[in-house]
Amino acid sequence: MGRPDGGAQAVEAEDVCEKERDEAQAEARQCQEDKARLLAERKAPGGLMGAAWLERAGVVAAKDLDTLLKERLANALGLTAVKSYSYTPTGESRPASVAVRLGFLNPGAEPWTLAGAALVDSTGEEVELVRWQEAPIPANGAGAVVVGIEGERAQLGCPCTLKLWEAQGPRTVTLGNVTFPASQKAAP
């Protein structure tokens, strides 16, 4: 003899299977969309290959600023090296993006983590910069940060003042006389 609710259990099991199938299909669609987005973001190479790729359509220029900068005595970090960069597309006279790479020594007893950066140009206009730091600069240790900006706001009237501040606390770095390399003609 069959159970009187056997048909209901079969329908319930079928509903569970359909629900699981629908969830698996939705997850697969999401994975496909994520993959397409990631592939679209990766169309241009990064790192040094990205810099080399940029040169196909313009000039990437670099300038050592080690002896040109004005450091404040109250700076929280000691400067070890600094280089500025600009990227100017072919046919343009002004940079489309600028960046500064800074090496520091942290004489403090606590690590230093970059929380913000800004450039103040010669007219007093202040622009916030995108920032990158691989790891906090350890106490009594060395580290580096990169800051920069792209687009219309990259066309600053320099020399500029660069301001950096930490995530937790009042320790700041202010550097004057920051400049960027002038546009140069690309080699054939």
Q: In this predicted structure, what is the pLDDT of residue 188?
A: 44
Quickly count: other Cβ atoms within 10 Å of residue 7's Cβ.
10
Across the range 101-118, mean pLDDT stands at: 94
> What are the percentages of helix, strand and coil residues in the chain, rounded to 5?
25, 35, 35
Q: What is the pLDDT of residues 41-75, one digit of tens each?
A: 556 666 767 677 777 788 888 899 988 889 888 99
How many CA atoms within 13 Å lie on the side-chain side of 111? 11
pTM listed for this prediction: 0.70
d(CA 29, CA 36): 11
CA 4 to chain centre: 66
Does 5 or 171 have the greater pLDDT score?
171
Domain ranges of the chain: 1-43, 48-178
Residue-averaged pLDDT of the chain: 83
pLDDT of residue 103: 96
Beta bridge partners of 177: none
- The band of 186, judged by pLDDT with boundaries at 50, 70 and 90, is very low
What pLDDT, in 10s, does the model give residues 110-146?
999 999 999 998 888 899 999 999 899 999 999 999 9
**What DSSP state is assigned to residue 154?**
G
Mean pLDDT for the stretch of residues 151-180: 86
**With respect to CATH, is domain 48-178 assigned 2.60.40?**
yes
CA distances in angstroms from 121 to 1, 102, 103, 118, listed in the order given: 90, 19, 22, 10
